Amino acid sequence: MKIFKVNILLHLVLALFCLKLKAQQTKQGELNARVQNSKGEPVQGASVISLGNEITNTDKEGAFSIITTPGKRLVITALGYQSLTIDADTTLKLITLKSEADQVQVAFQKQDRSEILGGVSNFNVAEMLEKNYYMSTSDYLSSFLPGYNGTNGNVWGSGTLTMVDGVPRDIGNVLPTEIDQITLLKGAQAVALYGSQASRGVLIVTTKRGTSGQDAFKVRFNAGVFTPRGYPDYVGAAEYMTLYNEARRNDGAGTLYDDVTINNTASGKNLFRYPDVNYYSSEFLKKSVNRADVTAEFRGGNEKARFYANMGFYQQGSLLNVGTGKDEGVSRFNVRGNLDIKFNKAITGKINASLAYYDTKTAKGNYWGNAATLRPNWYAPLIPLSAVENPNDPKWQTFKDSPFLVDGQYLVGGRQDMTTTPFGALYTQGLEKYSSRQFQFDAGLNFDLGSALKGLTFNTVFGLDYYNRFYLSENINDYSVQVATWNANDKITNIQRYGLVDKASRGRSLTDAYQRLVTFYSGQFNYKNTFNKVHNVSGLLLVNAFLRQISEVYHGDGNANLGFQAGYNYDQKYYVDFTSNYVHSAKLESQNSNAFSPVVTVGWRMSKEKFLAKSSVVNDLRLTATAGILHTDMDFTEYFLFRSAYGNGDAFRFNEGRQSNGTNVLRGANANLVFVQRKELNFGVDATLFNRLLQVNASYYRIEMNGLPLKNANAYPNYFVFGSTNFIPAIENYNNNLYTGFDFGASINKRVGQVGLNVGLTGTYINNKALKRREVYEAKWSYLSRVGQPVDGIWGLQSDGFFMNQAQINASPSQTGIAGSSLRAGDLKYVDQNGDGKIDNNDIVYLARSTPSFILGLNITAKWKNFTLFMLLNGATGGKGNKTNDYFRVRQERKYSEYVRDRTIINKDVSGNWEVTQLGAYPRLTTTAGDNNFRDSDFWLYDNSYINLSKVQLSYDFPTGVIKSKIVKNLGVYVSGFDLLTISKNRKILQTNIGAAPQLTFFNLGVKATL
């Protein structure tokens, strides 16, 4: 018995010893492993945290070593990657982190990039900023997002709804440094959950968020200069007067300017008496404009709370170098804070808030607008008191006492018929200050309901945005303009004042105050689960609503809808998805105010089939197809169109003498107005090829927009309109449009020696045409029909050269209907389309598209050691521009541009008839309205195709060992240039702004640091 007891005791001691030995071995376990991304590249600087408070970081090879207990939880975090929590295991050698870029924000959820069923483009802004600093969120988006037209903000030819962190917001109110990613939802299946307002496409902007276990403080500073790309080229004063005299002779009138005046002006001997004002000269404008910005970012946190904060400020000056124009400028200050909270295992939440102050200071006088219209000889901006005769004469004292004496010696110049001038405003008036204040807030809660049903969650978000703006004019003063009388000795003998009496009243005025309040709410149930490892099921049920209220606008603009989505895929091979919404509109009669929108998508990952599973070429290949119908009311700009509108009418008198006001019907009712329908069919392909060397995605779409609004006055008899009364409905559903096209994106990643290359290419082709219009034409008038022609078409007359003489005018179809009696040799001749012997609006034909049909973007990144070179090119073709402004169509007394130098010159022949004596590329000059020449025709169209070198940036990141500082962890510098070169047949036209500030090229020097 004793032996038995001793035996038991020995076994117990041995067991305890083994347990103790195992515990000692466990405590001393060392884990050596490497962290990589999904591409197999090492992740440097990742934090590896043991819940026993041990922490280490990976080296440049992604390797780390940590003492931990097997089975303990390890948390691996890295900037730009999803956090990963695993059980410690000393046999573990390789850990793979998923990039945050692999998670794409789509409608009300994030999805793995590989699981998105087409109709979506995505752009990682945070990653791009590391090699490509840029200033505005909307810059160059079409170069990174296939399907987006940066010219007009359209998606697949239609408008766009912008969502920032899930709330409808303006894209201009969030800067690139605040953004994590931008997603473009194009296809019906992608936008359906957002309801009516999203039926033309959605741009989702997702801001950055905090990380757990790795705090980071980043600072970025930029300073640069803008230089004008070019100014309009107007003729000088002497040349203007010569040309204007010629124009008057062409019209049969006498000359206005004598040779003495023209010669004295040309000599430049006295510019105060013979002005020759070049508004674009260095006398009034600076050569460059400075800009600077600074941004600080702080992100971090732990398992319980993660935070991100961004604070930024930028300031930019003005080109004006005259008077208060020197003080023009723009500044913006912004603060953003995003917080994620984990209350417990089942409940998490988020709070986002941002604040932005935007201020501009603008000089009065509309300098750029007047620079494009005021003739160079029209007036002298300043009158010098030094030129007065007998300066001690008391009559000059009143002028010397003016509160607006410029530089102590000049009076403000002008004309009797021009008592306010741009220079007068610059020298006598204060600035107009534009201020806007924006506060944005949204908060959400996420509930994990897995205890009730595995894979079930609930999310809710509430948003509130407030925006206001106003214009404050300061230092408003009364001023006069002066006109001098000169003698033969170039002395001023008299000065005449016109306008108000000079008075420094320093008044103030507040105008155009505007307020906007946006409220947003969404609540949704989500379900995601996998059965038997191959059956993947997902679902979503949501309610979504927002209301935009604007000051002094009676009815707020809003959107409300229910959304439902159900998806299934078998082993990530075969996919089917059903998405729908049920929308409501307050713009339609109650029986028509609700609509159901169904969308079905199917997908097939061919690369998982046996015949491709072992392919050395195809790594991943998936095809998708979508069909659906969406409903929208966004084309209706007014509410209550289903009701008649009434207003006060004219007074009428009864026989007994009583008088009363009548009532006018302003528009008729249309209770049959219904939603516009978007009927869509699209196909997509996503492929990764050649051992992940090449990634390609492409989409084709066909979209019909049916029931677009039309004011159909032709369908009603004349008696529906009587005086101020109009019984015709404001609009009805009638027009149909068709949009077709394709887009693609491709990227290549390859290492050539020590150089890592990445090339990205995007392209978007957009075609459209009208399917249905309210028109009835006989066969011989079919060329007038808009049906079958592009929606964005330019229509006009077809030119046929110039009339060379009166005989040609007499032998041609009559143009008096458009030109009157002023038709001359040197005027444009037009084609008589219908052969009726006259030119009128019945000869108008389709000429060209006004927007490009094809948009291309190319970005190239080359990395060598610590240097990174980035280049961005974009281009467009397939559209025409129209020379519509006075820079090209110079009529009456307008300012002459360089284009008139190649004019057609006419003179009278021996019979007294006009004939062309010198044929040019431009019509003859005229002082009339030019009704014949200056109307829309193919003569004024130009090819606006271009290729633009939009960006070049060279960056250098200092090696970690070089920065021997306890404060600065990483440091980088870069130089960059924006809009450096344009290649185009009509480059000068494309680069020249008329009546506005010039286009600018920007050169920048930047520094970024991690502290």
d(CA 203, CA 650): 49
> Running DSSP on this structure, what letter comes out for residue 181?
E
Q: What is the pLDDT of residue 73?
A: 75
| Spatial contact of 300 and 214, defined as CB atoms under 8 Å apart | yes
Encoding tokens for residue 579?
Answer: 């998405």
d(CA 254, CA 909): 18
Q: What is the pLDDT of residue 723?
A: 73
List, in sequence order, every beta strand (DSSP E) within 487-551.
Answer: 492-531, 535-550
Alpha helices by DSSP H, 490-648 = 610-613
Which residue bears the tokens 């790594």? 619
CATH code for the structural domain at 29-97: 2.60.40.1120
pLDDT along the chain (1011 residues), means of 10: 41 39 52 81 81 75 84 77 78 80 88 89 92 91 88 65 92 93 94 90 94 86 97 97 97 94 95 97 96 96 93 97 96 97 95 96 96 96 95 91 93 94 95 96 96 96 96 93 95 94 90 94 96 96 93 85 96 96 92 96 95 91 96 89 81 62 80 95 95 93 94 77 76 93 94 93 95 88 94 96 96 93 94 95 96 95 95 96 95 94 96 96 95 96 97 93 80 96 96 96 96 87
Q: What is the pLDDT of residue 153?
A: 54
Rg, Å, the chain Cα set: 36
d(CA 642, CA 674): 10
d(CA 995, CA 983): 24
d(CA 373, CA 197): 41
Beta-sheet pairing, 202-207 with 161-164: parallel
Q: What is the pLDDT of residue 667?
A: 79
Per CATH, 29-97 and 102-210 having the same topology is answered no
Closest CA to 497 of 485, 483, 486: 483
Residues 6+ apart with CB under 8 A from 237: 265, 274, 275, 276, 277, 375, 376, 377
Beta-sheet pairing, 179-185 with 1000-1010: unpaired
Q: How far is CA 196 from CA 45, 216, 477, 557, in A?
A: 45, 41, 50, 12
Encoding tokens for residue 765?
Answer: 């082709």
Encoding tokens for residue 532?
Answer: 């038997």
SS3 680: strand
Q: What is the pLDDT of residue 220?
A: 97
Alpha helices by DSSP H, 268-387 = 367-371
d(CA 16, CA 22): 10
Closest CA to 287 of 320, 312, 309, 259: 320
SS (H, E, C) 864-922: ECCEEEEEEEEEEECCEEECCCCCCCCCCCCCCEHHHHHECEEEECCCCCEEEEECCCE
| Spatial contact of 299 and 215, defined as CB atoms under 8 Å apart | yes
| Spatial contact of 912 and 813, defined as CB atoms under 8 Å apart | no
| 145 backbone dihedrals φ, ψ, rounded to 5° | -120, 100
Q: What is the pLDDT of residue 363?
A: 96
pTM, two decimal places: 0.88
Beta-sheet pairing, 329-342 with 305-316: antiparallel
The CATH class of the 102-210 domain is mainly beta
Encoding tokens for residue 991?
Answer: 């680069």
> Running DSSP on this structure, what letter comes out for residue 924?
P
Encoding tokens for residue 404?
Answer: 């607006």
d(CA 610, CA 652): 87
d(CA 884, CA 796): 12
| 585 backbone dihedrals φ, ψ, rounded to 5° | -135, 135
Q: What is the pLDDT of residue 228?
A: 97
Q: Which helix (H) or strand (E) holds 136?
A: none
Domain residue spans of the chain: 29-97, 102-210, 377-430+475-506, 775-1010
Q: How far is CA 708 from CA 115, 634, 677, 704, in A?
A: 34, 10, 8, 10
Q: How far is CA 704 from CA 102, 199, 628, 770, 948, in A?
A: 33, 12, 11, 10, 33
SS (H, E, C) 419-464: CCCHHHHHHHCCEEEEEEEEEEEEEEEEEECCCCCCCEEEEEEEEE
Q: How far is CA 470 from CA 435, 474, 506, in A?
A: 6, 13, 19
